[in-house]
Structure 1
């Protein structure tokens, strides 16, 4: 993907180099409980399945019912988001710069799409962290994968995840990395449109199986929104970029991850969709370029 000449975003902060420990103590709850509150709802999809399963076993019930905007957790001082700090954060390495350029591209794209609907787009923030960090939704740990926190409207990213995407999940390429950022920004779009709080409220009132099904639709829509972003930047795509995205989407399907991790698939526990579904909705966004085509909640939608 050709973004070398693109600006970097000013909406960036940096927690790298700050030591927040392992994410267990210091939050008033201890252990995994605070992690569940913020992460399960809006992460990219690779690290959280194990957390979801373990959380259900430890705490009982539906871990998804724990999340939502009213569950903000204590955190340290938020990293400053200003032009000077953003420039420094984006210049740390090539992965940081590329992530900042992708974020800037999503800002321009969604601002245009919102304007076409008579709405104003408020950009998401991007916070870089390494291994352990803090977010408005609680602890940030690399094992969770990238995620969006609706409490502070920021995307949290440890760029070492890109290496894992390539080496562990066989999804190399710059477009696969861009898909990571665009998917999380897709959750921010959902937040601005009121979709996330509505789904959260619904999940509190239904069974674990039904809550998971709603979550799948949330994640597939974020995939579709990522595709919409790509479609509106088609002039910057290289040959093979779409294939990179499809490969990444396949690699992070719930069925593929569960089969690799535990040798069996449990459809009722799916929270992000199968490989086929993730590929389908990403491609739908790429083919249409229209966010209106991303209604995974519509009656009869194949989500």
Structure 2
């Protein structure tokens, strides 16, 4: 299932059962160009695991490497993205996105006492569970069982999943004081809000002619400050980010054989087909025509 982002970069998670708000994903990276998921956020918790490849998670400004067997917990409303760093085959990256109410109702003492403090902890945007840490091995095993139960969906699977999630949050709560914390200065929070606004503007207006000043104005900052924000979070300039997003959309549109390359180029904000072809080949190693013939 491809990521669906709204204008605030918030991933739109539509849980199949609202009374059991947890969704299981696998093979998402296979649908994304260069096995890379864009920066986004959602109001739910996320747990994900690396199975065969090395993954790089970006959480806020931090980058974390997950080796095969490692897992990561990402707190609610935290800007994050992921990409596969090695291997020619896509990493399955099983993961779940879930509301805390999947464990207990929000007005219950369990939610208020054990889940809410973690959800509101700005100093805990993520927690990594390493496969070679015996103290964390049980968490990885609980996660494996969750993935398996959600795949098979046998009788009483919801109860088993809920038990395992409760165990994970009990682990987080009991080890709360000794788990690594990240102090997020006010300037970093401000920068994150700005990058969200500017990326939202790009995602909404990529098909139009956009200048650096337009992008900066979306966050009411100067062009130089916009450049600093993008350099910090995305290691590129605002204009480069715009081009990369246009190319990502173009890559998706190639699957629609009814669209000519000229139409795709124009729809993605490239008003020169020659420039579009050159940028596309630079990013993907093939021209749009070549990639369409390859069926990729």
Q: TM-score, normalised by structure 1?
A: 0.26
* Greater percentage in strand: 2
Larger Rg: 2
**Higher-RCO chain (CA-CA 8 Å, sequence separation at least 6):** 1
* Greater percentage in helix: 1
Q: TM-score, normalised by structure 2?
A: 0.27
